[in-house]
Amino acid sequence: MNHSARYPGASPDPQEEKQDEAIATIRAEIQKLQKRKRTLASSLLSAHSIQKLIRKPPPALTSINNELSPLVRAAGKHSECNHYRIAFGATAFPFQDPSPTANDNLLGVRLDVCARNGQFAKPYYVLLRRERVRGGNEKRLRVHRHTVPAFISMSKLEGAFLPFPGSGKERVEESEEGENLKPWKGQERKQDLRGFVRELRRELVAWHMRTDAVDFLREKLGLETGSLSSSSERALPVEGTGVMSLASTAVEARYVRLEWEDGRVGRFKLSNTGLVERAVVIGDAGRDKQTEDTMTGGGGRIEALLDRLRERGQSTA
């Protein structure tokens, strides 16, 4: 918190400024220490030995349960929740919609994805509501709100795994295939929440792995990581490969664009499993099929892409 910046009108007295700065650093220090204290306290409270003690108190200490601070219990619950989040990546929780017209609790699904640097990305949330099927007694789930990036088609996923009779897509299917030879089609398909979450999480993880892979290559090239393609940046070509720039063409990191120092440009498609699926390289003299083959060949792993290009560079040189 820059204190002096808050009062831009104040006189720029050097003495005052110095003091302001000192105060600001002290405040920051206090905040940091408070944060540390809270982290340590919660870690202590949720520590395995303490939690074990609470769960199975020794006979002499049975009264401890009544006197125990709710903080300790909450800490235990919280760490347990964290363990689930880390281990399974998909966790459910109830959420009460504060709207006065909402009639039911929402079912929240939280998806945690661990990124390359060992830290977790912001969790993705999907909130599902229960809705009564028209003309039936059964209640089915529908996606209410979500924070999944727009390039993943939630409506498609929902249509595949959480079919809801009467919603647009389903109706078409029924009218078209109603008299088909597939009697099971006429019946309402069962909702598959597990499958829904599994596919969604797979897609999100694949996206994170793709961006991580591109970041990894950019790091190797000495380019700034984490940004989309901008035409101005240029790396010094890594010896042997001659690659000047490498960046994903869009947020979903499905296609990656490459530029060589000799003016060739290329583009490759990155699969969910981390393979270079297809590659196109075009130079002044047309397609460079050999480089394309180098990119997709040799197992096609994206991580080894630069090594393959370097080998090829050495063999042709």
Partner 1 sequence: MARPKSVRAPTTASLPNNLRIPSSTPSLAKTLGKLSRQALLGLALTWLDDRNITSFPPYLQADEENGGDDEDTLPYPAAETIEEVRNAYQDLQDRKGGKREVLERMLEGDWRKGITLRQLAMADLRYMDNHPASLRWTALELSRIVARKKPIEKGKADDWSNNVPRMQAATFVKGLQQEIAPLVKAHYHLARSSTLPLTILRIFIIDSPYQSPRQAPEIFADSSRVIYVAFPDSCPYIYTSITATGSKQAGPTTSSVATDPRSLQRLVRDAIPKALSRPQERYTLKPTSLAAKNLPTLLALRGPGRSTSANGAFSIFADSALEGSPLDPRLSNTVSAEEHMRSWKATVENKENEISADQAHESKKRKAADTNPGTLSPTSKKRRLAVQGRFGTAGGSLAPAPLDRLDVRLLDQPTFDDEDDENSSNLPAVSLTFTGSDVIGGIRKLAELGIIDPKRMPSWMTGEEGVSMAVVRGGKRLQKEA
**Which residues in 80-119 contact partner 1 (CB under 8 A)?**
82, 85-86, 97-102, 112, 115, 119
CA-derived radius of gyration, the chain: 28
8-16, 37-45, 233-241, 280-288 -> range binding partner 1 (CB under 8 A)? 37-45
- Separation between Cα atoms, residue 302 and residue 248, nearest integer Å: 13
- The binder of partner 1 chosen from 55, 56, 134, 172 (CB under 8 A): 172
Residue 263 makes contact with partner 1 by CB under 8 A: no
Q: Which residue in 232, 258, 255 sits closest to 244, CA to CA? A: 258
Other beta carbons within 10 angstroms of residue 187's beta carbon come to 8
Q: What are the helix (H) ranges across the chain?
A: 14-45, 48-55, 64-67, 70-88, 154-161, 168-177, 183-186, 193-221, 289-296, 305-316
Residue 292 CB, shortest distance to partner 1, in Å, is: 19
- Binding mask 283-302 vs partner 1 (x if CB under 8 A, - otherwise)? --------------------
Residue 1 makes contact with partner 1 by CB under 8 A: yes
Residue 207 CB, shortest distance to partner 1, in Å, is: 7
Residue 154 CB, shortest distance to partner 1, in Å, is: 8
- Binding mask 240-259 vs partner 1 (x if CB under 8 A, - otherwise)? ----------xxx-x-----
- The binder of partner 1 chosen from 136, 168, 222, 297 (CB under 8 A): 168
Size of the site for partner 1 (CB under 8 A): 72
Residue 312 CB, shortest distance to partner 1, in Å, is: 28
User: What is each CA distance from 223 to 185, 227, 233, in whole angstroms?
Assistant: 53, 10, 8
Give, as ranges, the residues between 205 and 234 that touch partner 1 (CB under 8 A): 206-207, 211, 225-228
Give, as ranges, the residues between 117 and 136 that touch partner 1 (CB under 8 A): 119-125, 127
Residue 315 makes contact with partner 1 by CB under 8 A: no
Looking at beta carbons only, is 107 or 160 nearer to partner 1? 160
- Separation between Cα atoms, residue 152 and residue 163, nearest integer Å: 18
- Separation between Cα atoms, residue 141 and residue 139, nearest integer Å: 7
Residue 72 makes contact with partner 1 by CB under 8 A: no
- The binder of partner 1 chosen from 16, 80, 104, 177 (CB under 8 A): 177
The three-state secondary structure class of 132 is strand
Dihedrals φ, ψ of 118, to 5°? 80, -5
Residue 112 CB, shortest distance to partner 1, in Å, is: 6
Looking at beta carbons only, is 161 or 312 nearer to partner 1? 161
β-partners of residue 259 are 245, 265
Residue 200 makes contact with partner 1 by CB under 8 A: yes
Looking at beta carbons only, is 124 or 268 nearer to partner 1? 124
Looking at beta carbons only, is 129 or 264 nearer to partner 1? 129
Is residue 273 classed exposed, middle or buried when 0-12, 13-18 and 19+ CB atoms within 10 A define those classes? Answer: exposed
* Beta-sheet strand order (sheet of 286-287): 243-248, 255-260, 265-270, 276-283, 286-287
Annotate 176-239 with DSSP letters as a single string.
Answer: HHTTSS-HHHHSPPPP-HHHHHHHHHHHHHHHHHHHHHHHHHHHHHTPPTT----TT--PPPPT
